[in-house]
């Protein structure tokens, strides 16, 4: 007779919940600035929008585990993904048409303001061309995030808050089902779409000499970015022979976003790696596996980006990134 314990199925990892579907059949108010104090940050962490975004990041993270760039890029792309990449390619061409001024400032070429004015003028048309007519009510809900995805046109800087805006733009497109929340599409968002976005903003940073926005300096992962390290570390999970210490031995193959991010640091900074990238050095020398690196990156992203008032106070909230909490939902439902 078979024992009861032997008949139990093997433990499986918990299933990641489905992403919420936001219907556009009813009007939705556009997002607005909500965070002014640390108390507002605590409120933000309780909202539906915060939970949606954290879930979306985790879903994309899981979709690329163990997969290199070439494998993902070789797979067929949906029309939605292809159109988004084409939009980013168009945006990138503007840099050639708006060359930097001839000044020798260390940071912040004023031509970036001209580039920003073009983006502000073109965003409505970009989104009209991107979305099918049935999703056009989402244009005012998505516009603020696309506008703030490429840097600040007044301060002439770029940081993880601008990267966050672009990620929320992509999440919003997933909530309204322009993108389908399926692993095969989500991994394309990581490597094909977000990878193209990195190509665009790296070009902007280089040509217009954008200043790091709110940089942690030597104690941060990077002067400008975070998500490439997070999702790139997921790509390296479970890969035979992959060790976090490998990033200390350049040149690195461009097989994942993590290597691409670290390679860019090697290209931009001089001196010993441990001096200009102490956090990455510590990860490479003290963390044994990419599984642990990836788990730590998820926690760090939440703590250092999503929960930091200096970052999220510039983020429009509401609209697709719902500001309501479970409590307000229950209250509104009980009043119906």
Model confidence pLDDT, tens digit, residues 32-51: 999 999 999 999 999 999 99
The C-alpha atoms of residue 161 and residue 214 are separated, in whole angstroms, by 9
Strands (E), 210-271: 211-212
**What pLDDT sits at residue 200?**
98
Give residue 4's pLDDT band: very low, low, confident or very high (50, 70, 90).
very low
Closest by CA to 184, choosing from 287, 94, 80, is: 80
pLDDT at 11 over 70: no
User: How does residue 147 score in pLDDT terms, banded at 50, 70 and 90?
Assistant: very high
Q: Is the pLDDT assigned to residue 6 strictly greater than 60?
A: no
Name the band, by pLDDT with cuts 50, 70 and 90, for residue 213.
confident
| 209-228 mean pLDDT | 81
User: Taking residues 104-128, what's their average pLDDT?
Assistant: 93
Can you give the pLDDT at residue 14? Answer: 74
| Confidence label for 102 from pLDDT (cuts 50, 70 and 90) | confident
User: What pLDDT score was predicted for residue 104?
Assistant: 66
The matching CATH number, chosen from 1.10.3720.10, 1.20.120.1150, 3.20.20.70, 1.10.533.10, for 35-311 is 1.20.120.1150
Chain CA centroid to CA 147, Å: 15
Structural domain spans, the chain: 35-311
Separation in Å, CA 186 to CA 63, 124, 173, 191, 261? 6, 25, 12, 9, 20
Q: Is the pLDDT of residue 58 over 70?
A: yes
- What is residue 327's predicted lDDT score, i.e. its pLDDT? 58
Burial of 126 (0-12, 13-18, 19+ CB in 10 A): middle
Which run of H or E residues covers position 158?
A: strand 157-158
- Distance of alpha carbon 206 from alpha carbon 56, whole angstroms: 30
Predicted confidence band of residue 220 (pLDDT cuts 50, 70, 90):
confident
Q: How far is CA 271 from the centre of its chain?
A: 29
C-alpha distances (whole Å) from 281 to each of 52, 262, 295 are: 32, 11, 17
Token pair in block for residue 224:
């400008």
**CB neighbourhood size of 261 (10 A):** 26
3-state percent breakdown (helix, strand, coil) of the chain, nearest 5 = 60, 5, 35
Query: Would you state the structure tokens that stand for residue 334, as one six-digit string?
Result: 């009980």
| pLDDT for res 328 | 53
d(CA 222, CA 228): 10
């Amino acid at each position: 007779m078979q024992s009861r314990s032997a008949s139990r199925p093997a433990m499986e990892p918990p299933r990641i919940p489905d992403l919420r579907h936001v219907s556009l059949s009813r009007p939705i108010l556009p997002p607005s600035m909500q965070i002014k104090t640390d108390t507002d940050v605590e409120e933000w962490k309780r909202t539906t929008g915060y939970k949606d975004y954290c879930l979306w990041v985790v879903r994309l993270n899981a979709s690329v585990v163990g997969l290199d760039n070439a494998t993902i890029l070789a797979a067929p792309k949906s029309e939605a993904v292809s159109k988004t990449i084409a939009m980013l390619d168009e945006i990138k061409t503007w840099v050639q048409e708006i060359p930097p001024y001839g000044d020798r400032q260390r940071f912040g070429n004023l031509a970036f303001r001209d580039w920003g004015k073009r983006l502000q003028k073109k965003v409505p048309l970009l989104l009209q061309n991107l979305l099918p007519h049935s999703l056009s009510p989402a244009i005012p809900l998505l516009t603020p995030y696309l506008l703030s995805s490429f840097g600040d046109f007044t301060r002439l800087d770029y940081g993880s808050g601008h990267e966050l805006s672009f990620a929320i733009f992509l999440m919003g497109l997933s909530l309204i089902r322009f993108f389908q929340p399926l692993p095969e599409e989500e991994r394309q968002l990581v490597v094909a779409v977000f990878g193209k976005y990195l190509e665009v903003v790296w070009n902007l940073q280089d040509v217009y000499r954008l200043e790091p926005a709110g940089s942690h300096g030597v104690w941060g992962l990077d002067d400008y970015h975070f998500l490439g390290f997070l999702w790139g570390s997921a790509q390296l999970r479970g890969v035979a022979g992959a060790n976090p210490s490998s990033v200390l031995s350049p040149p690195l193959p461009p097989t994942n976003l993590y290597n691409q991010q670290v390679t860019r640091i090697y290209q931009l900074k001089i001196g010993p790696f441990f001096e200009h990238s102490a956090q990455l050095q510590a990860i490479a020398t003290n963390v044994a596996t990419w599984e642990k690196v990836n788990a730590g990156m998820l926690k760090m992203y939440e703590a250092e980006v999503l929960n930091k008032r200096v970052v999220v106070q510039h983020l429009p909230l509401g609209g697709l990134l719902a500001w309501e909490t479970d409590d307000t939902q229950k209250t509104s439902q009980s009043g119906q």
